[in-house]
Each structure stands twice: as C-alpha cells, then as structure tokens.
C-alpha cells in the first residue's frame, strides 16, 4: 500500500470538490453500492482526521495515510485507502439503528459508520494505542461525531461494556477470531475482518450458523497487523544471508537448516500452459495455492539476487518439504509480449517433485477455480472434531479451526 505524500494540491481543489470526486469515482467503479455508504463518503471531512497530510492525499482512493510507525519504521497505524474502506463498509451491510464495534481506530471510519447508522445507532471504536484513540477523539469532536464511544483497550477482548453488537468491523489484520468477538455479537450479527490464513489475507464477512461462523463475502485486502494479545508474527527463515526469505504463518519445517544449500543446486522448471495477461488479476491463485499445498510459505527476495526469479519478489507463493523448495514463476510467451505463462521453479534434492506438484495445482486452479466464485470460509471453535469440519483445507489457530472449501 502506498505511503508517499502527494503534494501537487491546487487552490481549485477544495476538500469539498475532492470529496465529491472521490465518491463519484468509487460509485463508478462499483465499490460504493448503497445510499448509506455514499452519504457517508460525501459527508465526512477526511482531511480533519489527517491534518498532517495534504487534502489531495486524504481523498486519493488508493492512498493510505500512515499515522504512526514503530521504531523500525513499520506502519502500525493508518487511515485506510477510501477504496478499502468503501468495500468493507459495503461488506458489513450497516443499517440505521445498528450497534457497531470497530476494532482498530483512525476516527475516519468510525465517523462514516456513525453517519450510516444514524442517531438511533451506536458506534464504539477501540484501539490499543492511546496516541491513536486521542487522535480519533480529536477528529470525531472536530467533525461533529463525538457521540462515538472511543475506547482504549486490547481488541482481542472486544468491548463488553457496549455489547452486544449487530456488526463488528475489524480494521487491522487479524490472525484469529477470539471468543470475545463471537460472544459480543447479536444472534443475527456479523463480523467483517481482514483474516490472515497461511500468509494470505482476505477481508471476510462472517455470519453466525449455530456455533460456527460462515463467510458471506470475501475481498482481497491488506492492513496493518493487530497488536496486543491477538498479535501473531510470521516465522522468517533466511537463506543465503538475507537474499532470500521464507515466511511461514505456522511453524517452519523441523529441519529447516537442510534448506540452506537448496539454492546452490540446479534449478528445475515446470511450465503449466496456463497464461495471464499483463494487467489481469489472479489473486485467487495465491489463495488456492495456500489452501492446496503442503509446506506452504511465502518467498521474498532482494531486487538484485540472481538466486531465484519468483513471480513476486515481495510475497511469492512457495512450498517446501524441509530440504527442497519450489515457488511460483512467470515467463513471457514469445508470440505476445503482454502475456505470461505460469510455472514453478524447484531447488534441492526433490526439486522436480515439488515443482511438478506446484505446477499441477496451478493447472487445477486454471481449470476449476479461476473464474469461479471463490471459496467459503467456515470458522469452527477450537477442539471441533475432524469429522464435524467438512471438506477443505483445515487451518488450526489458537481459538478456532478454519476450513477453506472451494466449490
């Protein structure tokens, strides 16, 4: 997500004009589809919540305004891009009179939620960082939305003082669904949350179904990660110094040291016949590979390394068996420079086997899931017996067991 500041604001571009243009664009793109969300976007003055940023940046549909970084320069709080906020608000299906909990506060989103639910509704926005809640309090007071409850607390615990909630919106990246969120939800309530599964995130709206939560929508999204009790760090394995890294959402292989020499072996290539256009999205492929492959991880590589040529140097789907690895790759198709073919590169003693397995799953995705509706996510309580989970990839978390089931 971009975090650069746009500076070419002209005197003619007033906040009101920028707000109107932003909303018109999101309507034209289909990101805003309801009257309530449109009204919120046309009404809430975003610039008040980010006084340090130019107005043009506050209203850029794709721009994220970073409001706080940690000691390593990593963003830990931000005002999300309008495009992301729009589709999450639409996902949540907010209605007048709803009681809503927002976990992760910037103030801007809480103001828009308050605009949608109206005076008969109630909005609580919660954050673990007092700098963030203080900023939200100032912004909400300065824009006339001081009826919003601003609470300092750990999102893992929800907010029992203002429960129950018709809607819970989580605007930080979560690794699990803690029991407090479910317990504080009304019988017909929903949770909209950017949930990370095997290193891949989706903003998912979940509805109660007995003791389970079942997805009703899912969108690609990325957020700063949750802090506090619900934090979960990926495990990083570095190869060849810091040139290549493997990130595991669960534990890395028990004998990961055997991977050290894998990249010194000859590369094995397996090509699939499945192609993609230069600007064609294929985000469902990453999710399919995460749900289909054993030993799944995300590979990253420095820009100057020649050890690997991954499909994406920042976050490339990969798999390992502990001594060998394979990752997703792309190559140009000679008769059309704008078209690329998916494949797999393998390294190590089992390179051919892993590359073939990864490539075959790309073909399965291409045949069966590329144009489909995507998977359903079901959240079961921890301890649910295997025979009650149904089919699909099972991902065990601290509080839950998640199944990813593709049609």
Average pLDDT, the chain: 91
Q: Do 132 and 166 belong together in one domain?
A: yes
Per-residue pLDDT reduced to its tens digit, 275-326: 999 889 899 999 999 999 999 999 999 988 999 999 999 999 999 998 999 9
| Stated length of the chain | 407
SS3 content of the chain, % helix, strand, coil (to 5): 30, 35, 40
Q: Residue 164: is the preceding peptide bond cis (ω within 30°)?
A: yes
Q: Do 225 and 269 belong together in one domain?
A: no
Q: Do 254 and 167 belong together in one domain?
A: no
Query: Does the pLDDT value for residue 257 go beyond 90?
Result: no
Give how many domains the chain has, as a whole number: 2
**What residue has token string 């998977």?**
375
**Sequence-ordered alpha helix ranges (H) in 82-157:** 82-92, 108-117, 130-142
Banded model confidence at residue 75, pLDDT cuts 50, 70, 90: low
In 3D, which of 144, 143, 163 has the Cα closest to residue 153? 163
Backbone φ and ψ of 320, nearest 5°: -145, 150
CA dist 91 and 326 (Å) reads 35
**What residue has token string 């704008």?**
338
Rg (the chain; Cα; Å): 22
CA dist 101 and 82 (Å) reads 19
In 3D, which of 371, 277, 278, 262 has the Cα closest to residue 327? 262
Question: Which comes out higher in pLDDT, residue 279 or 96?
Answer: 96
Per-residue pLDDT reduced to its tens digit, 43-56: 999 999 988 888 89
Which of 168, 203, 230 finishes a domain?
A: 230
Banded model confidence at residue 9, pLDDT cuts 50, 70, 90: very low
The answer to whether 92 touches 154, Cβ cutoff 8 Å, is no
Q: Do 159 and 253 belong together in one domain?
A: no
Banded model confidence at residue 71, pLDDT cuts 50, 70, 90: low
Regarding beta strands 268-277 and 336-347, do their DSSP bridges make them parallel or antiparallel, or are they unpaired?
antiparallel
Q: Do 296 and 310 belong together in one domain?
A: yes
Please give the pLDDT value at position 7. Answer: 35
Banded model confidence at residue 72, pLDDT cuts 50, 70, 90: low
Please give the pLDDT value at position 256. Answer: 64
Does residue 390 sit within a domain? no
CATH number at 22 reads: 3.40.50.150
Tell me which of 78, 80, 300, 324 is the catalytic residue: 80
Please give the pLDDT value at position 4. Answer: 36
Domain boundaries, position 193: 15-230
Banded model confidence at residue 390, pLDDT cuts 50, 70, 90: confident
Q: Is 80 a catalytic residue?
A: yes
CA dist 246 and 242 (Å) reads 10
């Amino acid at each position: 997500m971009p975090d650069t500041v746009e500076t070419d604001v002209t005197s003619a571009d007033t906040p009101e004009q920028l707000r109107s243009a932003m909303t018109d664009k999101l309507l034209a793109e289909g990101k805003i589809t309801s009257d309530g969300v449109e009204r919120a976007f046309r009404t809430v003055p975003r610039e008040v919540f980010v006084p340090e940023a130019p107005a043009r940046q506050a209203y850029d549909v794709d721009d994220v305004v970073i409001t706080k970084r940690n000691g390593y320069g990593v963003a830990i709080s931000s005002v999300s891009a309008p495009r992301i906020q729009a589709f999450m608000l639409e996902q949540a299906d907010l209605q007048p009179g709803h009681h809503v909990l927002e976990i992760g506060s910037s103030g801007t989103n809480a103001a828009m939620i308050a605009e949608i639910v109206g005076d008969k509704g109630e909005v609580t926005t919660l954050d673990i960082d007092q700098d963030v809640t203080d900023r939200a309090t100032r912004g909400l007071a300065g824009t006339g939305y001081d009826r919003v409850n601003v609470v300092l607390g750990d999102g893992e615990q929800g907010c029992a003082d203002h429960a129950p909630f018709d809607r819970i919106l989580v605007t930080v990246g979560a690794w699990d669904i803690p029991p407090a969120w479910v317990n504080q939800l009304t019988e017909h309530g929903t949770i909209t949350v950017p949930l990370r599964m095997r290193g891949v995130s989706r903003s998912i709206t979940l509805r109660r179904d007995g003791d389970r939560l079942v997805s009703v929508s899912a969108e690609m999204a990325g957020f700063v990660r949750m802090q506090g009790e619900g934090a979960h760090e990926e495990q990083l394995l570095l190869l060849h110094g810091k040139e290549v890294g493997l990130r595991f959402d669960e534990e890395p292989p028990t004998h990961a040291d055997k991977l050290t020499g894998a990249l010194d072996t000859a590369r094995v290539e397996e090509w699939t016949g499945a192609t993609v256009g230069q600007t064609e999205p294929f985000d469902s492929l990453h999710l399919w590979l995460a749900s289909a492959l054993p030993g799944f991880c995300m590979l990253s590589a420095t820009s100057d390394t020649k050890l690997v040529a991954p499909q994406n140097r920042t976050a490339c789907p990969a798999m390992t068996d502990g001594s060998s690895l394979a990752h997703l790759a792309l190559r140009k198709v000679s008769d059309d420079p704008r078209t690329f073919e998916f494949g797999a590169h393998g390294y190590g003693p089992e390179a051919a086997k892993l590359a073939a397995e990864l490539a075959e799953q790309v073909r399965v995705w291409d045949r069966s899931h590329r144009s489909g509706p995507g998977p359903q996510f079901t959240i079961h309580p921890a301890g649910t017996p295997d025979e009650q989970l149904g089919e699909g990839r099972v991902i065990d978390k601290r509080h839950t067991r998640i199944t990813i089931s593709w049609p």
